[in-house]
Structure 1
Amino acid sequence: MANSLKGHVDTSSKGADAFVGIYYQLFDTQRPVLNRVYRDTSAILWNGNAFSGIGPFSEFYNKLSSSEHTVNAYDCHPLPTSTAPGTPGSMILNVSGTVKYSNEASARHFSQSFILSPDPTNGSFYVWSDCFRFV
């Protein structure tokens, strides 16, 4: 049991490291590509605005001015799963940092929580749920 949990924690940590590195780079430099990490069934809450699926959210975030995210900290933990160790399961990922939009005078603090689920078609993760909030 302990080895199984450690395997899931290790797999989640590696997945979170990769996801954080990719997500904010895409958001800041290649927003149209960001669609690939969401699905039509993704639930998204962006600073109090709810979106169901990537289509409406994509329209929203493509209207935002250019941005520059700085991630200060993130942490993840696996959700209960019946998959074998080394096999990715879903995870919760919490990120905090700052974001500077080009139309704003200064950076703003943010907190973002994701539920990431494994994508069996390519071995990566996709965003099942995303909750972003300025703090």
Structure 2
Amino acid sequence: MTALTKEDIEIATRAAEHFTRLYYTAYDSPTRVDDVPNFYRPNSAMTWNGNPYGGVDAVRELMAKMPPTKHEVQSYDCHPIPGSQPPSLLITVSGSVTHGGGPAANPASTPAKSVDGQPRVFTQTFILSPDSTTPPASGGLPTYYITADTMRFVG
């Protein structure tokens, strides 16, 4: 197994910041049904709260069924996975997400303890693979796509 270099760690750190910003901006945008699937490939796997989805079309269908979102990323961490150059990345993200218009958008009949429209704590883990078919992104960073993605509400 190839040891990680300081450059691998620097690439991972920059790529994680870049990816996290782009991904959640796309996810929260009105055009997410078209934008978010671009992060995936036909062989990508996603698990959303225990429900499996495979490939770009399934991600697009999930995005189309979901109400608008607003993510607040509190933290993320990235670890380069040795074995490829540039390395694949394991990224873990935690934060909160509000679906719909927030509590003020709920009908008056919504129970006070309902999670509808309330911020919910989530954790999301991604495995990103370098995309050799696309030129490097801004700042010379490799272009990555999501190989695997699992999202879970934790609160």
Calculate the TM-score normalised by the size of structure 1: 0.90
Report what 1:126 is aligned to. Answer: 145
Deviation at 1:42, TM superposition (A): 0.2
Equivalent position SS for 1:120: coil
Partner of 1:10: 10
- The residue identity in structure 1 corresponding to 2:58 is P
Partners of 2:51 and 2:130 in 1: CA distance: 26
Secondary structure, counterpart of 1:106 in structure 2: coil
Q: Output the CA distance in 2 between the equivalents of 1:82 and 1:66.
A: 37
Matched with 1:57 is 59
Structure 1 residue 105, shift from structure 2 partner? 3.0
- Quick one: distance in 1 between partners of 2:37 and 2:28? 13
* Distance in structure 1 (CA, Å) of the matches to 2:117 and 2:39: 30
- Check if 1:93 corresponds to 2:91: yes
- Distance in 1 (alpha carbons) for counterparts of 2:77 and 2:8: 14
Aligned-pair CA distance for 1:82 = 4.4
Bigger Cα displacement from structure 2, 64-73 vs 98-107:
98-107
Runs of 4+ in 1 over 2 A off after TM superposition: none
- Structure 2 unpaired stretches of 5+: 102-115, 137-142
Select the structure with the greater relative contact order (CA < 8 A; seq sep ≥ 6). 1
Deviation at 1:57, TM superposition (A): 2.1
Q: Which has the higher strand share?
A: 1
Write the deviation string for residues 4-30 of structure 1: whole angstroms up to 9, x where unpaired: 521111101111010000000000003
CA distance in structure 1 between the partners assigned to 2:84 and 2:23 by the alignment: 27
Aligned to 1:46: 48
Identity within the alignment, %: 38
Deviations 1:15-64 (A, max 9, x none): 10100000000000031111111000001100010011111121012110
Q: Is the 8 A contact 2:38 2:56 kept in 1?
A: no
TM-score scaled to structure 2, two decimals?
Answer: 0.79
| Structure 1 runs not aligned, ≥5 long | none
Quote the residue 2:39 is aligned against.
37
Matched, 1:108 2:97: no
The one-letter code matched in structure 2 to 1:76 is C
How many residues are paired up? 130
